[in-house]
Copies of this chain bind each other. A is one copy, B any other.
Amino acid sequence: MAVYTDITDEELSAFLADFDLGQALAFKGIAEGVENSNFLLETEAGRFILTVYEKRAAPEDLPYFLNLMRWLADRGFPSATPIADRAGRTLKTLRGKPAALVQFLSGLSVRRPTVAHCREAGEGLAQLHLAGEGYAGRRVNDLGQPYWAPLFSKHRKGADDLKPGLAATIDKDLAELALAWPRGLPSGVIHADYFPDNVFFRPDGKFAAAIDFYFACDDAYAYDVAVTLNAWCFEPDGSFNATAAAALLTGYQRRRPLSPAEKQALPILARGAAMRFFLTRLADWKATPAGALVKPHDPMEYERKLAVHREGLTLFGAPA
């Protein structure tokens, strides 16, 4: 949660002059997303979110993300539509940084998803996968399995600082994941960061929208399901909630049934997905200055999930 870039009223007026949205009526920095600066903007034409892209988002990837959001919205998926200026551009510049204006979406994220939320979130994820079919943009998953070992090599000491002996355990995990990593599963556009804070629900508990597509890429759909299981189906005490997981998978399969190969691959994909978030949190952990108001996510939460996955999950009756 952060606002890294400060926008003056004059800069905002100059920005809005390129659009047919009337004048600004209200403008507030909002605490959403840790990677970019976000502002709630109300104009005579409605409500919008203005995002100024900071460090992590690579400028060359932004057209992929913005075009994807438009593609999904055009196909009826509830994601924020980017707003084009009079020249048809959605990717703009503000204070010398890339910026975009998207439609404001109503809905609330939940901190502790219920089983019912997991079912809805699963169904929403399948909708997203189906809506993404045919999207022409391509983006390699640069946080996918081939990238984990090189990333870890830079942070081995950090792992041992967190827990003596952890680096050797992770080395072994990485070797096992490399050997067992499934290939050839159905693939396409995945969200890759479908966490509870990126999913909105309506007051009646129904899926309302997904936001924050800035990790979206091409990868196996079942890997996205695995990321989602990790993010939604663990209890605060670290135990895996099999009922929530079953509901999430039921919800998903209402829209997109999983193939036998996908079902069989889920436990190893979930172990890999836990590795991916452990590694990026480990890298961010040391990089955050003491006293900073943005608290980095605890890598040990994902180390505990990794430990659960080392034992092997049972998702569809018999152990995989």
Where the two chains meet, the residues of A that have a C-beta atom closer than 8 Å to any C-beta of B are: 1-4, 8-10, 12, 23-32, 40, 42, 44, 104-112, 203, 289-294
Contact = CB atoms under 8 A, between A and B. Distances in A.
28 contacts: A1-B3, A2-B293, A8-B112, A9-B108, A9-B109, A9-B111, A23-B203, A25-B107, A25-B108, A26-B105, A26-B107, A26-B108, A27-B108, A28-B30, A28-B31, A28-B32, A28-B40, A29-B31, A30-B30, A30-B40, A40-B40, A42-B106, A44-B203, A289-B290, A289-B291, A291-B291, A292-B292, A293-B293
Contact of A111 (B10, B31, B292, B293): B10
A26 B111 contact: no
A26 to B, nearest CB: 5
Contact of A25 (B8, B31, B203, B292): B203
Given A107-B26, A108-B24, A291-B292, A31 B9 contact: no
Q: Is the interface of A mostly helix, strand, loop or mixed?
A: loop
A49 to B, nearest CB: 9
A4 B106 CA distance: 23
A286 to B, nearest CB: 13
A244 to B, nearest CB: 16
A290 B293 contact: no
Contacts of A112: 8, 10
A252 to B, nearest CB: 22
A44 B204 CA distance: 13
A106 B27 CA distance: 9
Contacts of A1: 3, 29
A124 to B, nearest CB: 17
B26 A29 contact: no
Contacts of A110: 9
Contacts of A104: 26
A280 to B, nearest CB: 20
Nearest to A27: B108
Given A9-B110, A109-B9, A111-B9, A294 B293 contact: yes
